[in-house]
Structure 1
């Protein structure tokens, strides 16, 4: 079975699977998921824990040897396999499949793979893990999902968040879940259990949000102008190179322009039906294409060429201002009053 991070605790309360694969690029959730599984295993009598650290030189026979070895200190053992590479390779895949073919009820296998390549989830060994045990894939929480999770977290420490509290916390800590957890822990230490009002946080809550480059295009695709400018502001404050921001915007615009051209010609839009592209992104692209004309996309690509010249010192103008204009137009579906279009 496949689980989201916020589904894991309920699943563990119903019983343990023979093995778990925890993967993804969100460090806090990855560590928290592993901790929850370890604690559930300990409650079920898996009191001995053996750790296998995999790297490029790892001997995969060690997994079978650990599974076959009797525990010296208890009747049940947790085998924790930490994957340090993006792919398991032929031997690794075969070793995991062999374990899945004969799982021992006295062993629980926990595979932790923070750097696992997404394509590996389509491999035979990963599908076998999913059919026999549980695959927990973690990725950054966003939007309403993040707000709901923070609200639940506040309630779990005895605080009752009032209107807007979880939303403000999500805004200030998006992309940095550890900072959000630390802020909640700080509030727990400073306050007695009970209501937590928005006024209690205002002025005392640091802005710890962290965004990557693709957060910018994600926000623009969904048409959220305010969020788009906030992401751009945070990227600039963190010292992100303007040329990288230009690259990600131009890349998105070229993809959209190609899709818009294909749609206008009656052909299938690039990316449609691509199993490798997340469904949420496909849906966001479709919505964006409904408000972005081919003419506008060509104009924005032209602006990107002017920004490139500005970054190289071949044209006047502030590159960051020009980037803000392009990003806003992409989100809004056109150039808006108050943001004049740079001409050269």
Structure 2
């Protein structure tokens, strides 16, 4: 799957949109079968396996008036699980079968479901259709054909949600759509309206600060770990690996990963991180799970805790890598 197609790959903020028909479990989990009813892969299902802890998920569903729209958002917490689930395929072909399918299913826990005071309805979306299409065209010029897009230009006359379960949601569209009047959390004078809405959107959607805080916390824990183990020299680099450590007379390179998720089954890697681990040994993979992150009274990200797991002499294998930054499946300790 060309997961990076039509993606703001330089952004630290990752967004998705879940398109739901049923209200049960809204904001509690992402859940999609690992294959369509005919046994073939489906990109809108498979995208579920690419969502990482800390990513934001918008929820598209019918509003109280019956009009579809974005009702709210959640934060992915993970870990990604495989469960057995009974489901009914969407669309004419799926409904025509009449018999639910039972099989392996991706399940990703969500948290912090936040309902918008006023949903971003389809009519509100289409009121800005020209602006949405302008954003789409600018992304096409940079990233190519808009695969996995959240909206389709139906009949070249109106925007509708994509036919599928999960889509990407480019950061450029977040910046545009959450400037809609319907998103304003409170009534403010017209000369302040734009500033208030922009602050509302960026306040709860910007992940970059949190991701940086988690990384710094994990690196600090790694430094303390190797120092306690008797390291005589520790140098922090960042790229192409995080730490250079001299321990028992041996130079070790350390790649550090941190997350709010518990017992992660995978981590995201860059190609440079993979290449370096394959060319230099010993390289250790130092993972900190379950970091608690919250904002203090001043609005700064505060982090604490975490569970350390270490893979000494780590060598990334091809079969454990997936093409999303890259994603590496952690072997058993």
State the TM bucket, normalised to the shorter chain: under 0.3
Bigger radius of gyration among the two: 1
TM-score by length of 1: 0.24
More helix by share: 1
